[in-house]
Amino acid sequence: MNYATVKDLSRQQPGQIVYTPMVDDAGKVAIEGLTLKLAEDEYFFTQSAGLRWLQFLRERSGIKVELSDVTPDYTCYALQGPRSTEVLEALTGESWRELRFSRFRKTQLFGSETLVARQGVTGEVGYEFLMRTDTGRAHELWRRLREVGKDFGLRELGFKRSSSATRRPVSRP
């Protein structure tokens, strides 16, 4: 990952998220996303077209690395807003106040290991939930998030569904 981006990821720690722009030979941004460091030798890059770019770089460089597209393996929900930490704590029964921006940790939700990342682009405190789809439990997370959030003024916001694309809604308390 350090080869692929203009950012220096050598000091990135497990549990940390780094914005990772990647440039072409002319120095123009070819792709960008977030890189979550899961373990010393395991990364999660959050860009849907990232696999093709990373495959191109692997072939070009000759670096021996295993790449997998796990996009369909995860469901992602966002919880944003000034009371999002309160909603998250009520949902999980855990404290989340010490989790800094661009950090993540794993928790168990509905019997499924879920990554909870402190991220967001709304200008408010926000979290993203990454739950494996093969558990079949993501709908329960969404339902429970909405139920718990009612007491905090949570309302659903997001994109309207269209015939050309489906976008996941964003929640904001």
> 145 to each of 64, 78, 125, 129, how far by Cα in Å?
41, 10, 16, 11
Gap between the Cα atoms of 37 and 11, Å rounded: 11
What is the domain partition of the chain in residue ranges?
1-69, 71-172
- Assess whether pLDDT exceeds 50 at residue 163: no
> 57 to each of 1, 2, 11, 86, how far by Cα in Å?
10, 12, 22, 42
Rounded to an integer, the average pLDDT of 15-39 is 94
The pLDDT assigned to 72 comes to: 87
Q: Are 140 and 50 in contact (CB under 8 A)?
A: no
- Assess whether pLDDT exceeds 50 at residue 50: yes
May I ask the CATH class of domain 71-172? Answer: alpha beta
Is 32 in a helix, a strand, or coil?
strand
Look at the block and give the residue holding tokens 């997001």.
Answer: 158
> 115 to each of 56, 105, 106, 127, 158, how far by Cα in Å?
28, 6, 5, 10, 21
- Assess whether pLDDT exceeds 80 at residue 124: yes
Question: What is the side-by-side strand order in the sheet with 29-39?
Answer: 17-23, 29-39, 42-45
- Which segment of 49-53, 66-70, 119-123, 163-167 scores lowest on mean pLDDT? 163-167
- Assess whether pLDDT exceeds 70 at residue 173: no
**Banded pLDDT at 120 (limits 50, 70, 90):** confident
Q: Specify burial of residue 89 (Cβ count, 10 A radius: 0-12, 13-18, 19+).
A: middle
Rounded to an integer, the average pLDDT of 109-128 is 92
Q: Which residues 6+ apart lie within 8 Å of 149 measured at CB?
A: 79, 87, 171, 173
pLDDT per position as a tens digit, 75-118: 999 999 999 999 999 999 999 999 999 999 999 999 999 999 99
Look at the block and give the residue holding tokens 């879920």.
Answer: 114
The pLDDT assigned to 157 comes to: 77
Q: Identify which has the larger pLDDT, 13 or 71.
A: 13
- Assess whether pLDDT exceeds 50 at residue 164: no
Dihedral of CA 96/98/99/100: which sign?
A: positive
Give the global pTM. 0.83
The pLDDT assigned to 122 comes to: 81
1-69 to CATH, choices 3.30.70.1400, 1.10.10.10, 3.90.199.10, 3.10.450.50:
3.30.70.1400
Residue type for position 139: H
Percent of the chain with pLDDT over 70: 91
